Structure 1
Amino acid sequence: MTAVHLPDLPPVPEGRLPRRVPVRRILCLLPLLLVAVVAVQHRAVLAEGFAHLGTARWPWLLAAVCATCLTWVAAACTRQGAVVERLPPGRLLATQFAAGAANHLLPTGLGASAVNLRFMTVCGLSLARSSAALALYLLAEAVGRVGLLAVLFLAFPDALRLDGLLPDGAIGPLVLAVTAVVLVAAGVLALVRRVRATVVSFLRTALGEARSVHARPSRALALWGGAFAFPALQAAGLVAVGRALGLTVPPAHLAVAYLAATVAVALVPTPGGLGSVEAALVVALVAAGGPAAVATAVVLAYRIITVWLPLLPGALTLGALVRRKVI
């Protein structure tokens, strides 16, 4: 019987582990999985919201979509204004779009903050300066939202009743919780030297970055212009949806209701405010004088436009940015 000669195979290196799936590939697919999970959990809200969109006036809905798109431009301007270095504009805008999706999949603020922190470090900023820029952005956004609410509420004091935006009996425990957090933080700073040194170093860096940014008028204009434009565009989107569905509430009152509701739900750390935003907005619109049924329809349609429609493309953009190592 003739022996068959097989070609020699290359030797396998000793100790070589089987090929594993790259972590970056898993991170690319994770946003899509989270979108599917969130969509299944809120499928009833999605069905009802799309049903309301089918009965709306489309020119006003188009205006709401345009206002939503401009919010990403405003966010990009604010992010650029928080740093002295020039960030790549195209990648910066794409990052804000992706950060919006991340923000709706993780507890409020954490998703967008993580995406932007990673983006700035990839662009060459140190972790300390990136964190300082992030803190400056969050401060400017909070000042812009609360400042715009204060101006509108002073101009239209009868726009809505603020009671009801938080659950009954929640103010007392909330004050106690905030006081406890402040006292614990103060105690840690006073007793733990390393923590105190870290906080002092961060504050020194943050103040230095803030001075550098405000020394350049273009950066200061981008920072504060974007910070005020962002909530204004969000409120304009709600006004447009209200007009599309025939909500008989004045536009200024709608804007006050939106800003008051979003400030209230900022205290509730749910992913993207899912659930808490809808409830607070309905309460605020009813307090502003809208019928409960129409107010509910407006809120559901508004959340479809601002959250659910951009969620899948935003997750795809997030995966693409991770794959290309932009973040």
Structure 2
Amino acid sequence: MTPEPVVAAPRARRRLRWHTGLSLVVVAVAVWVAWRHWPTLERGAVRLAVADQGWLLVGASATVATWMCSALAQQGAVPQSLPTGRLVATQFAASAANHVLPAGLGAGAVNLRFLMRCGLPVTRSATALAVKATAGGVGRGALIAVLAPVCPGLLRLPHIPRVAVAVVLGVAALVAAVPFTPLGARCRRVLAAVAADIRAVHARPQRAAALWGGSLAFVALHALVLIAVTRAVELPLPPERVALLYLAASSAAALLPTPGGLGSLDAALIFALTLGGAPGALAASAVLGYRLLTVWLPLIPGLVTLGVLVRRKAL
């Protein structure tokens, strides 16, 4: 029984080093791009300093509401009732931790520890996180599907090389063969347990509504933050286009495991907004404002909250 953790620890350290190395590369590229385009970023920062404070307040309010919606979705992912105050505080702390560790590892670790402290086994806690993440991805796809016809021609499907198609088909064939191996029996047992937890959640309409409503609202509110900042800096793009560009850019940036999308999301958002017709300085201003409201202002209070929760053994 004891050798398994000993073997797992080096693997976990290797994965963490790989993620950290890739994150540093992405951040280095982002710094280089920022240096090359510093005059545009400087003009954007100046424009943000004289932006409409009312719209910035709307964006700040939407940011606070995202933590409430994240807590709602997390509660919807488990049949048991969770302590409301600690749940909301955990989501606030998790958002800060997510900007320190790459690829969502920070938020996942904080929420996993919280659910275990609430009495859920490790497997059920991990299942709850997977259910919540899946609901968030489905909600993001649903919003893109709704907004894409409203903004025709804004999004274009990329050309997919034949080699990539062949690789995907090969991986699919390997996955299809797994159930017929000894590993497949173990996977079936795990999937059966996951399916049982999902059925238990959806057997209670209130939990299902919290899961899907909270996940959808979380994504929509992040889009609203960016929309509010674009209104504040008078960026000449309609709100539905800004929302669709945000959803597309954030989905693309999620493929790069940087802490909180640092560098990757910023570059993707600026590129998307300029591609959508916004001037470069205004696009930089909007992204700086969005990151200020969602990352930099809540970061220190979030880390302090994380420390308090750990000290009180809530995590």
- Under a length normalisation based on structure 2, what TM-score does the superposition of the two structures give? 0.81
Give the 3 Å change call, closer, same or farther, for CA 181–311 of structure 1 in structure 2.
farther
**CA-to-aligned-CA distance 1:187-221 (integer Å, 9 cap, x gap):** 66655x2x434422221111111111111111011
CA distance in 1, matches of 2:174, 2:112: 27
Deviations along 1:266-315, one digit per CA (max 9) or x if unpaired, are 21121111111011111111222211221111111211111111111111
Moved over 6 A (4+): 40-45, 169-174
Other-structure match for 1:219: 207
- The answer as to whether partners of 1:65 and 1:305 remain within 8 angstroms in 2 is yes
Residues 213 and 219, structure 1, Cα contact 8 Å, conserved in 2:
yes
1:135 aligned to which of 114, 130, 133: 130
Indicate which of 67, 72, 76 corresponds to 1:72: 67
1:274 is aligned with what amino acid? L
Residue pair 1:161, 1:287 contacting (<8 A) in 2 also: no
Counterpart residue identity of residue 216, structure 1 = R
Indicate the residue corresponding to 1:272 in structure 2.
260
Greater share of residues in helix: 2
Task: Choose which of 103, 120, 124 in structure 1 pairs with 2:98.
Answer: 103
Query: CA contact under 8 A between 1:52 and 1:301: conserved in structure 2?
Result: no
Identity of aligned residues (%): 50
SS at match of 2:99: helix
1:282 aligns with 270
1:318 Cα deviation after fit: 1.1
Aligned to 1:207: 195
Match of 1:8 in 2: none
Aligned residues: 283
SS in 2 for 1:104: coil
Q: Which has the larger radius of gyration?
A: 1
CA distance in 1, matches of 2:279, 2:229: 15
CA contact (8 A) 1:105 1:111 kept: yes
Task: Note the 1:180-259 alignment, pairs <5 A.
Answer: 191=181, 193=182, 195-259=183-247
User: Cα gap change, 1:50/1:130 in structure 2, threshold over 3 Å: closer, same or farther?
Assistant: same
User: Is it true that 1:320 corresponds to 2:315 in the alignment?
Assistant: no
CA contact (8 A) 1:60 1:241 kept: yes
Does the Cα contact within 8 Å between 1:161 and 1:288 map onto a contact in 2? Answer: no
- Output the TM-score relative to the length of structure 1: 0.78
Offset of residue 173 of structure 1? 7.6
Query: d(CA) in 2 for partners of 1:102 and 1:189?
Result: 37
Q: Which runs of 5+ in 1 are unaligned?
A: 1-37
Out of 104-113 and 87-96, give the one that drifted further: 104-113
Residues 292 and 50 of structure 1: CA distance in aligned 2, closer, same or farther (over 3 Å)? closer
Q: Which runs of structure 2 are paired with 1:56-67 in the superposition (5 Å)?
A: 56-67=51-62
The CA distance in 1 between the partners of 2:46 and 2:313, in whole Å, is: 39
Separation (CA, whole Å) in 2 of partners of 1:129 and 1:87? 14
Answer yes or no: is the 8 Å Cα contact 2:56–2:228 preserved in 1. Answer: yes
Q: Is the 8 A contact 1:141 1:228 kept in 2?
A: yes
